[in-house]
């Protein structure tokens, strides 16, 4: 109770605690980002072998908890002091303590971004009913963003629970009422589904994946249907700008697919934090108050 009272009555302590929690959670998010796609691949291979009636292959099963974290190059176990968010990477000089293999900068970046975005949530929502759900949504969007960038996958094991949680929170309601959340989920999914099939009909190509539909539906469930135009506009503008820039710099060919999930996730988070201000500014600019 003393801790809860301190969090409620001391905004500075709440901000510090949220940042620290975000850093710690960010370390776990790195585990999910690295292992979940590998777990999915293992499951797919096992299912394919079973369907084709091929003999099973003995391999080490991967989970989020097993095997313990270690260097992917030399297999050295990660000690406790080597697992301190951001600080350990700096102290190690970005290299494994044993074999000196470079450690991806992804690890401290995810931890730092999770800490910073958690602090923004605490600053914006304060000690309120919305803070914990906002943190959960933030951490989930970070995870989906990096997984999509690495693998161009948006796992159902994340997007579907996120969708259902958004609908459940609407019962309270937290960010949107149940009516707006249900319409948001339906409209979010069907809008991108329709664009996908129209694009495929015209060009014969697939412009996005089904994971994008589910993520957009989840954001609609969390924030209500009113947020969808803003999210799709922001994500499309940023996605198009980045894509054109990468092509212009010759870092990516025209026919190489670009993950759209990160732009949806970023736009969804912006709508979560600043959606009301953006809407008010836009309506004010067109003379609607």
Question: Encoding tokens for residue 216?
Answer: 């957009």
Is residue 100 in a domain? Answer: no
Give 171-220 pLDDT, tens digit per residue: 999 999 999 999 999 999 999 999 888 888 888 777 778 899 999 999 99
Structure tokens belonging to residue 180: 């707006």
- The three-point CA angle 12-13-17 to 5° equals 120
Task: Give the count of beta carbons closer than 10 Å to the beta carbon of residue 70.
Answer: 13
Is 90 part of any domain? no
The SS3 assignment for 164 reads helix
Domain assignment present for 75: no
CA dist., res. 83 & res. 86, Å (int): 8
Q: Is residue 124 part of a domain?
A: yes
Domain membership of residue 94 (yes or no) is no
For residue 212, being part of any structural domain is answered with: yes
Q: Does position 288 have pLDDT exceeding 70, yes or no? A: no
Mean pLDDT of the 12-16 span: 94
What pLDDT is recorded for position 33?
A: 96
Neighbours of 104 (CB within 10 A): 13
Q: Measuring CA to CA, how many Å separate 107 from each of 102, 120, 235, 241, 259? A: 12, 20, 25, 26, 20
- When pLDDT is cut at 50, 70 and 90, the band that residue 254 belongs to is low
The per-type count for the chain, helices as H runs and strands as E runs, is 10, 0
Instruction: Please indicate, yes or no, if residue 74 is contained in any of the structural domains.
Output: no
Which DSSP string corresponds to 65-76?
SSSPPB-TTT--
How far apart are the C-alpha atoms of 77 and 266, rounded to whole Å?
A: 34
**How many structural domains compose the chain?**
1
Q: Is the pLDDT reported for residue 130 higher than 90?
A: yes
Give the residue numbers spanning the domain of 150: 2-69+105-285
């Amino acid at each position: 109770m003393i801790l809860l009272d301190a969090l409620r009555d001391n905004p500075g302590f709440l901000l510090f605690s949220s940042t620290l929690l975000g850093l710690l959670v960010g370390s776990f998010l790195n585990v999910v980002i690295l292992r979940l796609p590998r777990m999915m691949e293992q499951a797919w291979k096992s299912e394919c072998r079973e369907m084709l009636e091929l003999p099973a292959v003995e391999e080490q099963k991967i989970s989020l908890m097993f095997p313990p974290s270690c260097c992917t190059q030399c297999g050295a176990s990660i000690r406790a002091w080597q697992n301190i968010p951001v600080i350990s990477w700096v102290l190690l000089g970005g290299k494994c303590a044993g074999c000196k293999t470079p450690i991806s900068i992804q690890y401290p970046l995810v931890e730092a971004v999770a800490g910073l975005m958690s602090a923004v949530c605490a600053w914006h929502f304060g000690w309120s009913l919305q803070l914990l759900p906002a943190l959960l949504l933030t951490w989930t969007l970070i995870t989906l963003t990096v997984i999509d960038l690495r693998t161009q996958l948006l796992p159902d094991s994340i997007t579907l629970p996120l969708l259902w949680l958004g609908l459940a929170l609407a019962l309270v309601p937290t960010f949107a009422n149940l009516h707006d959340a249900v319409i948001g989920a339906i409209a979010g999914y069907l809008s991108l589904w329709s664009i996908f099939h129209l694009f495929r009909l015209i060009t014969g190509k697939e412009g996005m994946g089904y994971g994008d539909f589910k993520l957009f539906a989840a954001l609609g469930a969390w924030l209500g249907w009113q947020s969808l135009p803003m999210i799709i506009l922001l994500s499309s503008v940023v996605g198009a700008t980045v894509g054109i820039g990468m092509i212009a710099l010759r870092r990516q060919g025209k026919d190489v697919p670009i993950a759209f999930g990160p732009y949806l996730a970023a736009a969804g988070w912006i709508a979560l934090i600043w959606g009301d201000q953006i809407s008010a500014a836009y309506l004010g600019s067109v003379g609607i108050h």
